[in-house]
Structure 1
Amino acid sequence: MLAELRARAMKDSLEAIGRYDEQRVRNRLLENFVVGDTYKVLMDQQLAGFYVIHLREDHLYLDHLYIDPAFQGHGLGHKILTDIQQQARSLNLPVRLGALRDSRANKFYRRHGFIQTHEDAFDIFYQWQ
């Protein structure tokens, strides 16, 4: 269920760079899946999205944040990210994450105060403090 949602949420961004492979998109989530670090987002009792946040020794790592395209534009991502930032503030830890290069997510994270720290061939990495 979550892997399918991830595939729907990432499809346009990955197709734009010629890297959409539904099985690989699903497997990426399943390879690192930790039940205790995964949170479902419901809207009108329907699965609207999910996120995975790992508590590391010196930071919180936002491994996944996906909102189903049918539920985007309702402020769910903003609410989730604001809650994560509040949690990080209370722990006195930064939040780190990576976003697919050329994804709309990059603008979203920058708008929420994340600063680019580095990049690789496919992803841009950010930190919020």
Structure 2
Amino acid sequence: MSALPAWTLRPATAADLEPLVELRAGVMRPDLERLGRYDEHRVRQRMRDAYRPEHTSVVELPDPAEPLAGCLALAPDERPGTLLLEHFYLRPELHGRGLGTAVLRAALDRADAGGLAVRLNVLNGSPARRLYERHGFALESEDPVDVHLHRPARPVDPGKAVS
């Protein structure tokens, strides 16, 4: 495994939409094709329809040639006391280097600081499911396409600093 790259999170803007749409299409293509569900228009339009920059963060690397590493959205859910984690994508060449773990940990620390549960959906058979389960997510329900995971609210350790 390569060393964890330096990274930062910044708030997303409307200008980030199309680069994030393309990132999503590329990242999701292998799993959607495996499930027989890939549609190049639909995979992009779903992101366009659901994009909420006020709840989205862009993961950046200190690489002037290609700073966009990924994105993550953490928004209030319809269930009280719960956040919905969605649109968590990293460029495929960055997988397996600890970046996903670090970004997810930062998002979960924010949820923990607010005493909030987190839920998400992942495609059935996606390797990302293991990442989520390592961070305390458990199966809520599944169907042939989607796996719904939930992580209960966690009490904050008073000795732990949250940024």
TM-score by length of 1: 0.93
Alignment of 1:10-49 (within 5 A): 10-45=28-63, 46-49=67-70
Q: Write out the 4+ residue segments of structure 1 that deviate beyond 6 Å after TM superposition.
A: none
CA distance in 2, matches of 1:72, 1:121: 25
Q: Tell me the residue number matched to 1:81.
A: 104
SS at match of 1:98: strand
**For structure 1, which runs of at least 5 residues remain unmatched after alignment?**
none
Q: Is contact 2:82-2:119 (8 Å) kept?
A: yes
Matching residue of 2:158: none
Whole-Å separation in 1 of the counterparts to 2:142 and 2:70: 26
Deviates more, 1:2-11 or 1:113-122: 113-122
> Which structure is higher in strand share?
1
Where does the alignment leave 5 or more consecutive residues of structure 2 unmatched?
A: 1-18, 153-163
Deviations 1:32-62 (A, max 9, x none): 1111111110123310110111023320100
Match of 1:104 in 2: 127
Pair member with larger Rg = 2
**2:160 — aligned with what?**
none
Number of the residue aligned with 2:15: none
Q: Distance in 2 between matches of 1:44 and 1:20?
A: 32
* Equivalent in the alignment of 2:72: 51
> What residue number does 1:4 align with?
22
Residue 86 (structure 2) aligned to one of 60, 63, 67: 63
RMSD over aligned CA atoms reads 1.2
CA distance in 2, matches of 1:120, 1:30: 24
Q: What displacement does 1:7 show?
A: 0.8
The residue type equivalent to 2:62 in the other structure is D
Measured in 1, the distance between the counterparts of 2:110 and 2:45 equals 28
Helix, strand or coil at the partner of 2:144: coil
- Comparing both structures, which one devotes a greater share of its residues to helix? 1
